[in-house]
Amino acid sequence: MLKGLKRPVEIFFLFFTLLLFANLSFAQTKEIDSLRAFLKSEKKDTLMVMNMKILGYDFYARENYDSALKYEGEALSLCDVLGYKKGMTGAYETIGLIANDKGKYSEALQNFLQSYRIATDMNYSKGIAHATNDLGMVYFNTGDYTKALKYYLQSLKIKEKLGDKSSIVFTYNNLVDLYKEEHNFEEAKNYLVKIVRINGETRDSMGMGYAYSSLAEIYLLSHRYDSAMYYANASKAIGEKLNNKIFLAYSGSYIGEVLMDEGVYEDAFSSFKDALQIADSIRDKQLVSKIYYNLGEVSIKLNRFPDACNFYEQSLFIAKKIDDKKRIMQAYLALTHYDSVSGNLNAVLEHYENYIEYRDSMFNVASARKIENEKITYENEAQQEIVKAESERRILRQKILRDVFIGGFGLALIFSFIFFRQRVKIGKEKKRSEDLLLNILPAETAEELKENGRTVAKDYNMVTVLFTDFKNFTKVSETLNAQELVNEINYCYSKFDEIVTRFGIEKIKTIGDGYMAAGGLPVKNTTNAYDAVKAALAIRDFIEEEKQRRESEGKPFFEIRIGINTGHVVAGVVGIKKFAYDIWGDTVNIASRMESSGEPGKVNISGTTYEFVKDQFTCTYRGKVMAKNKGEIDMYYVEGLGANRI
């Protein structure tokens, strides 16, 4: 969806519905002042709840989250006192939407589930439709498109029964975003056509402009340039009629892209420049960064190389300000190509390394999203089980109280047994939750998080970091189908997990075909260098056995490089949105260089690690070996346990 068009249909629909309900009609500033004055009255009723919700939703629409939370929280408290359940569903939803916008997906999930539970207890169809749509948004934001689609379609089914056209359009737009992310442009187009039909029936020019703009983007991504140009011009016409700068900026950008792809470079350049001026005026930095990048691309086509470099750098500068990693990566790669053509070899290396860094960070973000999704999937299921258990207990309690009155002590014992069974069931769910947390974080860190709600980063003076990498991963992957490749990697990494656990090493993460672990944390010890080398030898031997087995069967096999270094690191949980235990420091970088500087089937250790393990292992000195960005480093190959092994 276009940036700046966040929940456009639903925001305006709900906002004006609330205004009509409260029978209030006045200008924005007067409305806020009047509502605040009304809230000072002593009358605590549903009308006051609606006024609080109007204020809360208005502040949410303008991204003033602190004020929005204040009024929605007050509305929720008053709803609870009044027993006004419908008001509670809406308040929980808005609080969840704020958490969702901030990227706090687990918090958003809990509030949406509360809204869903209350709406379901009341059999409130509209509330259920909103809540299921919101749950779909959480899963969409965490990359689980299958679950997102399930909830969107469940919401859509209810909305279609209710005949709520504006709300139907909103879910259609969510489905468009989902299919666009999956590159299923045909399905995205089908829903946009439905949106156009409904907007035509309701004569919604604004909605039609959004739909035309989205169709232009879909056809552009599908390389159907005639259709893309048609809908971009249609959106532009509505933008001119309504004086809507968003439509004008995006349609101008799309028209420029079509012209550039068709080779009409001067006209494309002109269209981009006009769109840039409008995008800049509405402060849409994401679009501004994109247009600067496209200006760089078209300048290359026009042989205006200095201009191209300037445009790429402008795109990069703005992308960094808004932390748009995809655009940053794209700009660095473009600058790499430019530097290569212009012969600036020093800049080529610098820009390419920055490109690799952001490419890897995007991979890590995707991995973190998967971790977060596993976490919230469990929380969703666990919460549903708890809600179900609470409902069952409430029904059972009512039944048992009646039966106790009639039947006496015997039925009371039955109730006690059933109640105990429910407690056991909830206890099992709690254990599942704790097991999931332990799968993501070390035990000590997980305990700290449960007790304090946060963790504190820690310094470790002696930690041994182990890196592995499959040398011939690309070659092997070309001979296996997707499922075979995943099965083989999973088999190897599962064995690695067993090995590092056996030697008291903490697995940190996997990055593609690389595996990272560390000894000496989160519980400090002085044997971590020995433990890590033992684990590395066990991993080396396992891969060698697998190689021989698969070779005898005529199957492709992996070869592995292993690198180890010992030193100081900082360790902790990354971020506030998603839990991921990680370590940082030059020790980590040197360990990575040990791996990349080694040979297949060898355990390559630094001179620092050697000093800790030289009495326990037989090692071969390699001399001072050049490590990328680190200079010359003493390196040793570990051959096996020595005569003085402990």
Distances (CA, A) of 606 to 101, 442, 503, 546, 628: 46, 26, 20, 27, 14
Higher pLDDT, 51 or 441: 51
Q: Are 608 and 636 in contact (CB under 8 A)?
A: no
- Tell me the average pLDDT of the chain: 77
- What is the arithmetic mean of pLDDT over 12-34? 40
- What is the arithmetic mean of pLDDT over 492-521? 87
CA gap 502, 217 in Å, rounded:
53
**Residue type at 207?**
G
Q: Has residue 432 got a pLDDT over 60?
A: no
Q: Specify the range with the lowest mean pLDDT, choosing from 136-140, 343-347, 395-399, 569-573.
A: 395-399
pTM: 0.50
Q: Are 582 and 517 in contact (CB under 8 A)?
A: no
The residues facing 385 across adjacent strands are none
- At 528, list the tokens: 């971590």
DSSP string covering 597-626: TS-TT-EEEEHHHHHHHTTTEEEEEEEEEE
Per-residue pLDDT, 446? 52
CA gap 372, 201 in Å, rounded:
41
Q: How confident is the model at residue 592 (pLDDT cuts 50, 70, 90)?
A: confident
The residues facing 581 across adjacent strands are 573
Q: Are 159 and 9 in contact (CB under 8 A)?
A: no
- At 417, list the tokens: 């047994």
Q: Where are the alpha helices (DSSP H) in 441-527?
A: 443-452, 473-477, 482-502
Q: Has residue 157 got a pLDDT over 60?
A: yes
Q: Specify the range with the lowest mean pLDDT, choosing from 45-49, 78-82, 429-433, 615-619.
A: 429-433
CA gap 149, 133 in Å, rounded:
9
Rg of the chain over Cα atoms, rounded to whole angstroms, equals 30
Count of other CB atoms within 10 angstroms of residue 278: 22
CA gap 46, 75 in Å, rounded:
9
pLDDT tens across 137-147, in order?
988 887 788 88
CA gap 268, 42 in Å, rounded:
62
Interior angle at CA 103, CA 98 and CA 109, nearest 5: 70
φ, ψ for residue 627, nearest 5 deg = -110, 135
Q: How confident is the model at residue 355 (pLDDT cuts 50, 70, 90)?
A: low
pLDDT tens across 175-202, in order?
998 888 888 888 889 999 899 899 888 8
Q: Has residue 35 got a pLDDT over 70?
A: no
Per-residue pLDDT, 361? 56
Q: How confident is the model at residue 393 (pLDDT cuts 50, 70, 90)?
A: low
Per-residue pLDDT, 377? 52
